[in-house]
Amino acid sequence: EPEVTQTPSHQVTQMGQEVILRCVPISNHLYFYWYRQILGQKVEFLVSFYNNEISEKSEIFDDQFSVERPDGSNFTLKIRSTKLEDSAMYFCASSRLAGAYEQYFGPGTRLTVT
Amino acid sequence: AQTVTQSQPEMSVQEAETVTLSCTYDTSESDYYLFWYKQPPSRQMILVIRQEAYKQQNATENRFSVNFQKAAKSFSLKISDSQLGDAAMYFCAYRRSGNQFYFGTGTSLTVIP
């Protein structure tokens, strides 16, 4: 069964550095998402992406975040200048269509900012 | 704002027994969707069950069923005949017409052999 994959599984970075988290969505899916979960807190929506542009974003997704689909398979989340509070698990998800359709989640990337 | 509350951080159940996980949500919308996702240790979240708010009938998927009380804004998950493989973190989630999911904080389920 097709799965969403994410790399790396764990990323450690110093405060102020840029990080890129990578995701490979399921191949015939059209909608892509990023979520984050700070330890012990809720999974929070960051952004959705469709047709090569952001379709929806939360207030968390400020100017230090950006997303890109650089080729036909990868979907990336860039954090330009990491802060300590960016430490979290970041989940990528994809869905074939929008609305009620299921989102398929990746295993997550644990980002640790020191 | 939409919020999803799971008041049980941890639950345990004896193998073969039944357990119910609670979820409440807050919304002013009339048309929305509710989900239960399961996240086994070190694995990705997978969908367990989905409920459309306009449907009065409770969704069922094999051993998993929900008790959807729209007026009370309650969406509990019942797992019957619990198996060791059911041990996981369970997240309740809400979604309206857009793409954004709102998740609860999760309930960690332990299955006791």
Q: Which of A4, A58, A104 sits opposite B100 (nearest CB)?
A: A58
Residue B2 is classified by DSSP as -
Mean pLDDT, residues A74-83: 96
* Interchain contact, B101 vs A35, CB within 8 Å: yes
Q: How far apart are CA B19 and CA A114, in angstroms?
A: 40
Give the alpha-carbon dihedral of A33, A37, A43, A46, to 10 degrees. -40
Query: Which of A21, A20, A45, A41 has its CA nearest to residue A31?
Result: A45
Check pLDDT > 60 for residue A99.
yes
- From the CB of residue A68, how many other CB atoms can be counted at a distance below 10 Å? 13
CB neighbour list of residue B102: distance below 8 Å, 6 or more residues apart: A45, B2, B3, B4, B25, B93, B94, B95
DSSP B32-49: -EEEEEEE-TTS--EEEE
Gap from A23 CA to chain B (nearest CA, Å):
13
Mean pLDDT, residues A48-77: 93
Q: How far apart are CA A101 and CA B72, in angstroms?
A: 24
H or E segment to which residue A55 belongs? strand A53-57
- Return the SS3 of B85: helix
The pLDDT > 90 percentage for chain A reads: 81
* Interchain contact, B103 vs A103, CB within 8 Å: no
Q: How far apart are CA A20 and CA A28, in angstroms?
A: 23
Residue A110 and residue A9 in contact, taking contact as beta carbons nearer than 8 Å = yes
How confident is the prediction along chain B (113 residues), in pLDDT tens digits per residue? 568 999 999 999 999 999 999 999 999 888 899 999 999 887 788 999 999 999 989 999 999 999 999 999 999 999 999 999 999 999 999 987 777 889 999 999 999 99
Count of all residues that appear for chain B in the document: 113
- Return the SS3 of B84: helix
CB neighbour list of residue A104: distance below 8 Å, 6 or more residues apart: A2, A3, A4, A25, A26, A29, A93, A94, A95, B44
Chain B contact residues (CB < 8 Å to A) = 4, 33, 35, 37, 42-47, 50, 52, 91, 93, 95, 97-106
- From the CB of residue B105, how many other CB atoms can be counted at a distance below 10 Å? 18
Task: State the pLDDT at residue B2.
Answer: 66
Task: Using an 8 Å CB-CB cutoff, list chain A residues near B34.
Answer: none
Query: Which of B76, B92, B64, B71 has its CA nearest to residue B22?
Result: B76
Task: State the pLDDT at residue B94.
Answer: 92
